[in-house]
Structure 1
Amino acid sequence: MQPNLMINDAEWDKLISDVAFYFEDLTLKRGFQYYKQKRVKSLRMISSRRIMAVVEGREDYAVSLELDHLTESHCDCPVQGPCKHMAAVLMNVAESQERSVNMLANAKAVIDRKKTEVLEASAAAGVSGSRREQAQKLAGLIPGATVAQWREYMALLTAPMAQSVRNPQYSGRALSAIMEVQADLAPAAALLFQLNAHLFILESLIQPLPPNHAGTLSSSSYSLGYYTSIAVSELKEAVTRLMKSGLPLASEPEEWPRVRETLDYVQLEMLTESRDRLREQPYFSFCYDRLWNHWIAPNTSGSELYLEELDALRERASGLGAAANRSALLLAESRMYFYLNDDKAAWERLAAASERPGLHPDELMGFLPPLAEAGHWSRLAAWLEATGPLLNSRLYNLQGYAAYWEDAVRHLPEAEPQMWNTLSGMLPLSQDIYEEKLLAAGKWREWMDYQLAAGKEPSDFRVSDLQPVEKNAPELLLPFYHQAAERFVLEKNRHSYKAAVKLLKRLAKLYKKMKREARWEEFLDAFTARHSRLRALQEELRKGKLIP
């Protein structure tokens, strides 16, 4: 290292602050590992504030650091924005200046501690003025704050509502209080602030009492009330609308640290939320899905970020121990393999995650929209085939799943056999959409065979339900009606005789339509003779004008 680089105390404090804002905590920890493993090579000065180095990773990566403007730094690795290679070089710089490498590796904790001290001092002194004046003072801190600090401000601003009933009105008031302090932020930063505000309120709805508060209900036993559930549903809809606009990270790459900090928070909540009740998709699993699908994946090229998230998930789950939900972990891993185009690995984890308590159907369906939107029809068909058997909830409407099959087959006709095999393999759960598609495709014989195999009776259908078959393949209904009429006769009561006669009259129309009246007369004569001792049946046949 050239001796002309000197970092004074003020510059060191600024560097700690910049690193805390620009780097994700997990990235710093991995950079520290690279530093300890001495992976930084060829460190040299280009100018008094610019440093170049080579860092050994999966391959050798060239790093260029601008100490005064970290956002202008660069690394050749696939990660967009700050990475572990850059962090490792910074720690080598700290060592050369005889500064605390540990302080740099824990920059976020250092800055958070300082910010907490300032807030505590402010609270101890008593912030003068109304809450609006206090909010205006806090607004000036928001543009340079971390996500963790944003959450501190949100907690301070919503504190007066701590004892409020958790309902949609509470959500609206809390969101208004938080947005009141929103400073002049660039588009991406503003979207991230709004998302974190919604996440903050979502957490307050799901866990309305502090973790150590006496009487707090555990996540496994806490059940949301009716109005709280409405508020949560409205928040989820708001999050969906917010994320659909996309996140302009290409023009604001300096927001990647906040994206990663938001992801880190959502990841933790997702891995620890309860899955005992799966009548709706777990809340933070929903947010994790949307965050990757709408904001992170569209701004990511290459595989590095997905591989890092796999490492982060496993490291977080290992640290959580028994508190980590296995199904949530496997689902998150499958999502990363999905983005890596390793579908086999993704399906293996989804199958394991679907074991009890399992996954909500919406979590499985979440893999399909990106494929349909991208027009990847062959891959969509493969995913439909893999996920269909895992949709095992009878409470779930499969019409959306069926619609994806229609899109896939319309664009890729050769995928139709996959569809039929999958739907038949999902019976009886897929019964409604299977029958509907058989009729729509004009597969009359297959439809009829299924009804006979399932033990269905003509009385299970409305007349209008059977009209398409009567019109297009009336001969298929003959055994259906014949068998049902014979079963009614065997019951030997007046009501069943009347039902048998109704079916016989429908049979007469079918034979006439097929121009096989002679065959009908032959059958009716044999039927009447065979049951000649059943006087009540004979009476019903006469009333129906089937016999004289």
Structure 2
Amino acid sequence: MNLKYTLDDTQWQILIQKVGESFNDLTIKRGFQYYKQERVQPVKISNPEQIEGLVEGNDEDKYRVTLNLDSLSESRCTCPVPNYCKHMIAVLLNYVSQQGRSVHAIVNANSTAMFKQTTISSTHHATSSQIIDHNMEAQAKLREQASRIPSMSIKEWHELFKQSVSPIGFNSPNAGFAKNALASINNLQPQLSPVVEQLFKLHARLFVLERLVHPLQNSGTHKDIFIGYHTQVAADDMHEEVQRILRSTLMIPAEPEQWPRMRETINYLRSHMLVESKNLRYFSEIYDQLWLQWIHPNLQDETLYTTELEHLKSAQSELGTTLSKLPWLLAQCQMYFYLAQDGPAWELLQQANKGAIIPPGDYFISYMSCLQLNSGLG
């Protein structure tokens, strides 16, 4: 698809409003089904206002759609319905998805428009232009906050991410949500230094991953938990993106002033991996890789290892029964390896083995191989 023409935030809000005012809910839902069934061929953008697409109907006929985003009433389809048909919605959803915008915002546009109309009737003073102005003001405020990203803490970044993705909604924790959430966050990014940009990209993905697995991760139990197929796929993809970022070289020697943000990142990952369900291991593996790939190769002294050990040891009394024991033991083992203290590291591995919590298979073998390679103990 040619993305030479893209929707800005104002155009996006206006489009949602126009769809809600023009299409009834049943037509939108039917168009959504066509979109989900992949009946739409790649769309063509003739100009910023005009989109052309081909949709396969139930009767195997193909209907040609021409959408006019400026004036939906002037849109045309070759199907028998005179205007505002499901084929138009299917093409529009295809276009919206490839723009990195929320498909569900369009699917729910009719309900949103009805809610706004009710609000307008009850207050007698709200207008469509005021609603648009409000959305524009919210986006402007968000962009103004985003301009301060270079001076913000990691915690403040995550608060900003939360505001950015709130219009998307969270009805379906799947790849579509992950894509739209990440696109929304990426739109916030101002010009950043190389290390801050690496950390920003890392935390954007950590935030989305957390949103995908949050209900599971905070369930208060470490038994195996069922995770839906679509959520699993989205979480696995996001996890792989994080791993890819961590495999890149961190240029922190050129920006030593970024070490406080690295410590914040350690704290963030530790807090998640120590309460992670035993069959997820997303945050525990990322925690390991952060030390192996970014922190250990760049440290000049042992202070951070000993400090991390103190945090880990205190976690047992702080977290109690919610503590996930395997990543807790392996994280301590990792710090002792880095400190060249083989005895305590081996004792921790034996403790894990005695408790029958070390999993057989590739995860543990891969963990030990990387640990030996990066600590120089192999």
TM-score where L is the length of structure 1: 0.42
* Alignment partner, residue 356 of structure 1: 356
- Distance between the aligned counterparts of 2:373 and 2:191, measured in 1? 37
Q: CA RMSD in A?
A: 2.5
* Alignment partner, residue 329 of structure 2: 330
Displacement of 1:131 in angstroms is 5.9
User: Does residue 1:339 correspond to 2:338, yes or no?
Assistant: yes
User: Residues 87-486 of structure 1 correspond to what in structure 2 (within 5 A)?
Assistant: 129=136, 132-208=139-215, 220=223, 222-275=225-278, 277=279, 282-354=281-353, 355-359=355-359, 361=361, 362-369=363-370, 371-372=372-373, 376=376, 379-380=377-378
Secondary structure at 1:366's aligned position in 2? helix
Q: Do the aligned residues in 1 keep the contact of 2:175 with 2:231 (CA within 8 Å)?
A: yes
Deviations 1:285-307 (A, max 9, x none): 11100110111111112222111
- Distance between the aligned counterparts of 1:218 and 1:161, measured in 2? 29
Q: Do the aligned residues in 1 keep the contact of 2:146 with 2:160 (CA within 8 Å)?
A: no
- Distance between the aligned counterparts of 1:209 and 1:372, measured in 2? 33
- Distance between the aligned counterparts of 2:233 and 2:213, measured in 1? 12
Amino acid at match of 1:365: S
Q: Number of aligned pairs?
A: 244
Q: Do the aligned residues in 1 keep the contact of 2:292 with 2:370 (CA within 8 Å)?
A: no
Q: Do the aligned residues in 2 keep the contact of 1:268 with 1:316 (CA within 8 Å)?
A: no
- Unaligned 5+ segments in structure 2 are 1-132
Shift of the 181–286 alpha-carbon distance from structure 1 to 2, 3 Å rule, reads same
Shift of the 217–369 alpha-carbon distance from structure 1 to 2, 3 Å rule, reads closer
- Distance between the aligned counterparts of 2:182 and 2:360, measured in 1? 28
Amino acid at match of 1:179: N
- Distance between the aligned counterparts of 2:205 and 2:302, measured in 1? 29
Amino acid at match of 2:189: Q
Q: Do the aligned residues in 1 keep the contact of 2:182 with 2:205 (CA within 8 Å)?
A: yes
Displacement of 1:172 in angstroms is 1.0
Displacement of 1:165 in angstroms is 0.9
Displacement of 1:202 in angstroms is 0.8
Q: Do the aligned residues in 2 keep the contact of 1:166 with 1:228 (CA within 8 Å)?
A: yes
Q: Do the aligned residues in 1 keep the contact of 2:221 with 2:277 (CA within 8 Å)?
A: no
Deviations 1:362-411 (A, max 9, x none): 1442231354478x5xx42xxxxxxxxxxxxxxxxxxxxxxxxxxxxxxx
Amino acid at match of 2:213: I
Q: Do the aligned residues in 1 keep the contact of 2:194 with 2:251 (CA within 8 Å)?
A: yes
- Distance between the aligned counterparts of 1:348 and 1:373, measured in 2? 20
Amino acid at match of 1:154: F
Displacement of 1:219 in angstroms is 6.4
Return the structure number with greater relative CO, CA threshold 8 A, min gap 6.
Answer: 2
Secondary structure at 1:272's aligned position in 2? coil
Shift of the 127–153 alpha-carbon distance from structure 1 to 2, 3 Å rule, reads farther
Q: Do the aligned residues in 2 keep the contact of 1:128 with 1:134 (CA within 8 Å)?
A: no
- Distance between the aligned counterparts of 2:243 and 2:332, measured in 1? 22
- Distance between the aligned counterparts of 1:240 and 1:186, measured in 2? 21
Q: Do the aligned residues in 2 keep the contact of 1:272 with 1:323 (CA within 8 Å)?
A: yes
Secondary structure at 1:250's aligned position in 2? helix
- Distance between the aligned counterparts of 1:305 and 1:353, measured in 2? 24
- Distance between the aligned counterparts of 1:302 and 1:373, measured in 2? 15
Shift of the 196–137 alpha-carbon distance from structure 1 to 2, 3 Å rule, reads same
TM-score where L is the length of structure 2: 0.59
Which structure is larger by alpha-carbon Rg, 1 or 2?
1
Secondary structure at 1:175's aligned position in 2? helix
User: Residues 33-112 of structure 1 correspond to what in structure 2 (within 5 A)?
Assistant: none
- Distance between the aligned counterparts of 1:201 and 1:273, measured in 2? 16
Secondary structure at 1:129's aligned position in 2? helix
Displacement of 1:129 in angstroms is 0.7
Q: Do the aligned residues in 1 keep the contact of 2:253 with 2:298 (CA within 8 Å)?
A: yes
Amino acid at match of 2:330: L
Percent identical pairs in the alignment equals: 33
Displacement of 1:128 in angstroms is 5.1
Amino acid at match of 1:319: E
Shift of the 134–208 alpha-carbon distance from structure 1 to 2, 3 Å rule, reads farther
- Distance between the aligned counterparts of 1:142 and 1:133, measured in 2? 15
- Distance between the aligned counterparts of 2:162 and 2:295, measured in 1? 26
Secondary structure at 1:367's aligned position in 2? helix
- Unaligned 5+ segments in structure 1 are 1-125, 381-548
Deviations 1:307-333 (A, max 9, x none): 111011112332112221222211110
Displacement of 1:224 in angstroms is 1.1
Deviations 1:54-87 (A, max 9, x none): xxxxxxxxxxxxxxxxxxxxxxxxxxxxxxxxxx
Secondary structure at 2:253's aligned position in 1? coil
Displacement of 1:141 in angstroms is 2.1
- Distance between the aligned counterparts of 1:182 and 1:292, measured in 2? 26
Shift of the 160–265 alpha-carbon distance from structure 1 to 2, 3 Å rule, reads same
